[in-house]
Amino acid sequence: MTAPTSQKYLLIFDFDETLVNENSDESVVRAAPSQELPESLRRTFEEGFYNQYMQRIFEYLGDSGVRIQDLKAVYEALPLSPYMQQLLHYLSLNLDRFEIILISDANTFGIESTLRAAGFFSLFRRIFSNPSASDKRGYLSLAPYHSHSCPQCPTNMCKRKILSEYLAERAQQGISFQKLLYIGDGANDFCPSTLLSPMDVAFPRKTYPMHRKIQETEEKQPGTFNAQVVPWESAEVILQYLQSLLKRS
């Protein structure tokens, strides 16, 4: 028996430089005594191993006297992207039409702190991010989200795998969606966007890595990126699209 289609649209948000207008991993450095990292620590970064790098940063911040409340204050002050507040408010008034999840390579503590401070935490049915919490020393401890075999993604997170598993879980519960709507900016948002069908919509932040990778794909192999593409600089573009979508449906 085929799973019935929900009357809802599935809206998938990224966090850093999408929902908020900064990279929260870089923003936490404001809590450091000198508001910068030592060069020796910066040099330990390796492409594809960002989660491990952030674990070292949180350890350094803890050793420097930064406590969980200091980090919480930074996360609570993160600015939303342009027009994002209006978009989220609109969604809060139309939750009967949207199911909303967030998939981010940041961390659960930071994301939840930001969303609670902004008043939008309850919008999200699920938040998928790297687990983080205060340890017995009062440091923020960080762990990888999962393991995977995707060669395109960092070792700790493949957003395509997360989205695939979420859709499978909802299908088992008898729920499928009229349309998938993916809002992101980064290179790691391109991988899950390749799951989208021609009925679905990718909203890449204009000129950011996700947008560039979509453009490169279309230049090399026209027609291979399935989803409709709606680039945005302000979330007003997304809001107008969703308003039009609901009027048509």
Known binding residues for substrate are: 25, 105
Measure the CA–CA gap between 239 and 226, rounded to whole angstroms: 22
70 is catalytic: no
Q: How far, in Å, are 100, 120, 231 from residue 87 at the CA level? A: 12, 11, 15
Measure the CA–CA gap between 153 and 143, rounded to whole angstroms: 16
Q: Is 10 exposed, middle or buried (0-12, 13-18, 19+ CB in 10 A)?
A: buried
Measure the CA–CA gap between 195 and 87, rounded to whole angstroms: 24
Catalytic residue among 16, 96, 189, 200: 16
Residues comprising the binding site for Mg(2+)?
14, 16, 185
189 is catalytic: no
Helix%, strand%, coil% for the chain, nearest 5: 40, 15, 45
Measure the CA–CA gap between 195 and 78, rounded to whole angstroms: 30
Measure the CA–CA gap between 29 and 58, rounded to whole angstroms: 9
Residues comprising the binding site?
14, 16, 25, 105, 185
Q: How far, in Å, are 1, 4, 119, 166, 188 from residue 172 at the CA level? A: 11, 11, 31, 10, 27
Catalytic residue among 14, 63, 70, 200: 14
Q: Return the closest-CA partner of residue 120 out of 86, 153, 88.
A: 88
Task: List the Cα angle 239/159/197 in 5-degree steps.
Answer: 60
Angle between the 84-92 and 236-248 helix axes, to the nearest 10 degrees? 30
Query: At which residue do the structure tokens 């090399």 appear?
Result: 220
Active site residues: 14, 16
